[in-house]
Structure 1
Amino acid sequence: MWKKGMASAVLLVLIGLLAWNLFGPKEPAIGLEKGDQAPDFELKTLDGKTASLSDYRGKKVLVNFWATWCKPCRTEMPDLDAIRSENDQVEVLAVNLTTTEKSVDHVAAFTKELKVSFPVLLDQKGIQARYQVLSYPTTYILDEKGRIMSVKHQMLTKKEIEKELDL
C-alpha cells in the first residue's frame, strides 16, 4: 500500500513537471522579431561613458540607428527628443553609425546643433549589423522588459511614435 502511494505521488510530480515545461511561462527567445528579447549590447556614449541596452529595463526604449549624413535622421531627431522629454518611462538610445562619420567631433557638433538630450551611442563595434540595419533611420521599439514591440525602417513622427508606444 505504501509503495502504491509513493508511486502515485512520484507520477503526479512528474506529470506536474511535464505540464509546467509545456505550458508554464517561458522567456522569449533573443532575436530581432516582434516578441523576441532584443539582443543586449554595450557601447561608449558621446560623453565617454558606457551604456548597455539592459541598463534601461523598466522603461520603453526606442533604439534608433542613425547617421549625421542621413537627412530623415536629422528630421526625426527633434521628435525623438520631445518623446523622451515628455515621458519619464521612455528612453531613446541613438546608436550612431560612427564608422561612416567624418569624426566623433562631427557627431558631437551635430547633436549639439540639434540640442538632443538623449544618450548618443557610438557604434564602432558593428551593433547595427547585428541588428540587421540596412537603411536609416531604423528604430526598434522595446517594451519595459526589453522585448521588441515593433521595428520601423523609416523616419518616424512624434504622432507615430506615440501611437507605437500607446502614449
Structure 2
Amino acid sequence: MRACMAVLVGVTACAGSPPTTRASELRAPMPEVTLPRLAGGTWSSTSARGSALVVDVWASWCKPCSKGFPKLDALAARRSDVSVIAISIDEDAAAAREFVAQHPLGVPIVQDAEQAVTRPLGVDRLPTVLLVDADGTVRYRIEEPSERDYDDLGALVDRFASSSSTDH
C-alpha cells in the first residue's frame, strides 16, 4: 500500500509537470497520532490542541517539497499563536534527514512512514499543507501549494480562527 501511495504521489506531484494548486475546505478530525521526531523524541497531534496548527506534508523524493520550507519557518517565527509541523512520509528516516540537511527547515519534523495522518485525510499529492483549527479539526487542505499559497497561510489561519467558535 505504501508503495502504491509513493508511486501515485510521485507521478502526480513530482513528475516535473507544472504544479496546479488544489485547495479544499474540510471538516475532518485531525487523526490522533504520536509520531517520531527526526531530531529524537515524539510529537502528538493532540499536543497542538488549543492553537492553530499548520502541517506541511512532504517526502525526500519530491523535489518541489522543499520550496515552502523558508515560508514555513517565517510563519513559525512571525506567529507565536500558530504551531507549525512538517511531516515526512518517507519510510527511511535517514533519507528525510539527508533531505533536510540539504534543504534546512527549522520547524519540528516528524516521520509518518505509515501515513497515519495522510491516508485518513485523502492526501494524494505532495507537498500538501493542512490547516487545523484549535479544536483539532482540519479546515483546509492545499495540494501542491504555490509560493503565494504559502504567503497566505497566516491569513487563512486568521480566517478559520475567527469563525471556528461560530461554525460548530
Does TM, normalized by the shorter one, top 0.5?
yes
Q: Which residue of 1 aligns with 2:90?
A: 98
Structure 1 stretch displaced more, 64-73 or 134-143: 64-73
Radius of gyration: which is bigger?
A: 1
Render the CA deviation track for 1:65-106: whole Å, top value 9, x for unaligned.
10122222111111111101111111112110112xxx4223
| Higher helix proportion | 1
1:150 aligns with 2:166: no
1:42 aligns with 2:1: no
Q: Which amino acid aligns with 1:56?
A: A
TM-score (norm 1): 0.71
Shift of the alpha carbon at 1:121?
0.8
1:69 aligns with 2:61: yes
Percentage of pairs with the same residue = 25
Aligned length: 133
| Higher strand proportion | 2
Q: Which residue of 1 aligns with 2:101?
A: 112
Render the CA deviation track for 1:38-72: whole Å, top value 9, x for unaligned.
22111101012111111111221112210122222
Alignment gaps of 5+ in structure 1 = 1-32
Greater RCO (CA < 8 Å, at least 6 residues apart):
2
TM-score (norm 2): 0.70
Q: Is the 8 A contact 2:28 2:121 kept in 1?
A: no
Give the alignment's Cα RMSD to 1 decimal: 2.1
Q: Is the 8 A contact 2:60 2:90 kept in 1?
A: no
Q: Which residue of 2 aligns with 1:124?
A: 113
Shift of the alpha carbon at 1:156?
4.3
